[in-house]
C-alpha cells in the first residue's frame, strides 16, 4: 500500500457528462500529480499541484481541470466527456515539488473511467 488513496476505483458514465476523481496524498506529502494511462499506453502527465498551487502542466486538455484543497487532497474534474477519455487515471504524491532527491512519487491504485 503506497498510502495514496484514490476514489472511486471504477466510474462508468456517458459521453458529454462530467465526473470528479478524488485523491488523498500520503501523510506529509505536499505535491499531488495526475496522470492518464489509456489502454496499453504509457503514462501521460497531466498536472501537478504543490501545497495548493499549480506547479507544472503537462498534456492536460482544456476540458479537464484540477485543484488541491487546504487539506491537500486533490480533485480532477473531467467534463464534456468523450469516448477517448476512457482510461486509467492515476494520482501520485511526493514530499516536495519534484526538484529534489526526496521527491519520489508514490502512486495510488488508480480510477478506471469508462465513457460509453
Partner 1 sequence: LAKTTQPISMDSYEGQEVNITCSHNNIATNDYITWYQQFPSQGPRFIIQGYKTKVKNEVASLFIPADRKSSTLSLPRVSLSDTAVYYCLVRGFQKLVFGTGTRLLVSP
CA 43 to chain centre: 11
Structural contact between residues 91 and 4, judged by C-beta atoms closer than 8 angstroms: yes
The minimum distance between CB 16 and partner 1, in angstroms, equals 26
The minimum distance between CB 80 and partner 1, in angstroms, equals 26
Angstrom CA distances, 13 to 1, 2, 8, 40, stand at 28, 28, 13, 21
Place of cell 464534456: 80
Structural contact between residues 13 and 78, judged by C-beta atoms closer than 8 angstroms: no
36 scored as a contact of partner 1 (CB under 8 A):
no
Question: Among residues 2, 17, 77, 114, which is the contact residue for partner 1, using CB under 8 A?
Answer: 2
Q: Which three cell numbers stand for residue 83?
A: 469516448
Radius of gyration of the chain (CA): 13
25 scored as a contact of partner 1 (CB under 8 A):
no
Mask 50-69, x = binds partner 1 (CB under 8 A)? -----xx-x-----------
Mask 91-110, x = binds partner 1 (CB under 8 A)? -x----xxx-x-xxxxxxxx
4 scored as a contact of partner 1 (CB under 8 A):
yes
**List of residues contacting partner 1 (CB under 8 A):** 2, 4, 33, 42-45, 48, 55-56, 58, 88, 90, 92, 97-99, 101, 103-110, 112
Amino acid at each position: 500500500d503506497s498510502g495514496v488513496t484514490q476514489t472511486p476505483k471504477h466510474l462508468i458514465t456517458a459521453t458529454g457528462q462530467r465526473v470528479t476523481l478524488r485523491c488523498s496524498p500520503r501523510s506529509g506529502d505536499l505535491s499531488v500529480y495526475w496522470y492518464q494511462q489509456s489502454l496499453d499506453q504509457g503514462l501521460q502527465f497531466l498536472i501537478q499541484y504543490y501545497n495548493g498551487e499549480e506547479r507544472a502542466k503537462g498534456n492536460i486538455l482544456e476540458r479537464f481541470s484540477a485543484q488541491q484543497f487546504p487539506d491537500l487532497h486533490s480533485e480532477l474534474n473531467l467534463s464534456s466527456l468523450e469516448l477517448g477519455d476512457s482510461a486509467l487515471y492515476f494520482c501520485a504524491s511526493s514530499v516536495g515539488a519534484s526538484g529534489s532527491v526526496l521527491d519520489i512519487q508514490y502512486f495510488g491504485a488508480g480510477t478506471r473511467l469508462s465513457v460509453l
